Amino acid sequence: MKNASSKYPEFDHLELDTELEFDNIKSYKKLQPLKSGYNIALEVQQTAYGFSALQHKYGETPKLSKILVAYFYSKHWGELGLEHLKQLNAIRNEVKFHDGNIVVIDADGDERGLQQLLWDNNLVLPIHTDNNALLAKLFKVYSDDSPAWNFYGGIDVNVPLPAIFVVDHSFKIIFDYSNEELLSRIPSQEIVSTVFRSNNYLAGKRSA
């Protein structure tokens, strides 16, 4: 017998849809950063990707005039990013000696703010502003389908991983450090050694 005094509406159980609708819920994918051995020359050849600012020489095939050490920076990583910058600055002269060039890829578009941060900490590193995250997307350390705030606490904007790549003259990735664990210590000596070996290999080919 139904309770006539019930204040809640009664529904036939056949009217109830017990299945939840997830059509509007977006599924995010984990980033798949590029690895050593991958050559990005084709992508660079098809689009500028801002490499003209990274001493890119144009020709039949794209070439870099120096071995590139690219670090993806965002102020939203806070002290972590600054610690990385300090460590990169510490190896800057060694990398330069071996014909390498460290470039900070600025994800925030705030070059003046980043320049001030470098100045305040006595750091000397070249900056390249990554408009529309083109380079970050190229190296697959950033994606609209994999926002940082979905995987890391304390981040409320989508920014690239604080990753480091070493790219040789022919745009082949010869060292990768995606740093998905957000470690504060970067593999400085591995970076220097990679640049050294690549430069020696190229020098050997030229003298052969």
57 in Cβ contact with 64 (< 8 Å): yes
What value does the mean pLDDT take over residues 59-74?
83
26 falls within a domain: no
Contact 202, 169 (CB under 8 A): yes
**CATH number, domain containing residue 70:** 3.40.30.10
E-assigned strands of 37-188?
56-57, 63-64, 67-73, 100-106, 127-129, 164-167, 173-177
Residue 20 lies in a domain: no
Q: Specify if 94 maps to a domain.
A: yes
pLDDT at 189 over 90: yes
Tell whether the model's pLDDT for residue 51 goes beyond 70.
Answer: no
Confidence class for position 9, pLDDT limits 50, 70, 90? low
Residue 193 in this model has a pLDDT that exceeds 90: yes
Over 70: is that where the pLDDT of 48 sits?
Answer: no
* Assigned domain for 9 exists: no
Q: Across all residues in the chain, what is the average pLDDT?
A: 84
pLDDT (mean) for 55-71: 73
Determine what percent of the chain is predicted with pLDDT higher than 90. Answer: 60
Q: 16 lies in a domain? A: no
Q: Is the Cβ–Cβ distance between 168 and 174 less than 8 Å?
A: yes
- Quick one: pLDDT band at residue 25, thresholds 50, 70, 90? low
Give domain status of residue 25, yes or no.
no
State mean pLDDT over 10-30. Answer: 57
Question: Tokens for 70?
Answer: 């690219």
The answer to whether residue 58 scores a pLDDT higher than 50 is no
**Domain tally for the chain?**
1
Q: Rounded mean pLDDT of 107-119?
A: 95
What are 74-98's pLDDT values in tens digits? 999 999 999 999 999 999 999 999 9
Q: For residue 184, what are the domain limits?
A: 38-207
Looking at residue 45, the DSSP 8-state letter turns out to be H
Q: Could you tell me which residue, 151 or 118, shows the higher pLDDT?
A: 118
Quote the pLDDT of residue 87. Answer: 98
pLDDT reported for residue 23: 52
**57 - beta bridge partners?**
63
pLDDT at 188: 98
Q: Minimum mean pLDDT among 8-12, 41-45, 155-159, 188-192: which range?
A: 8-12
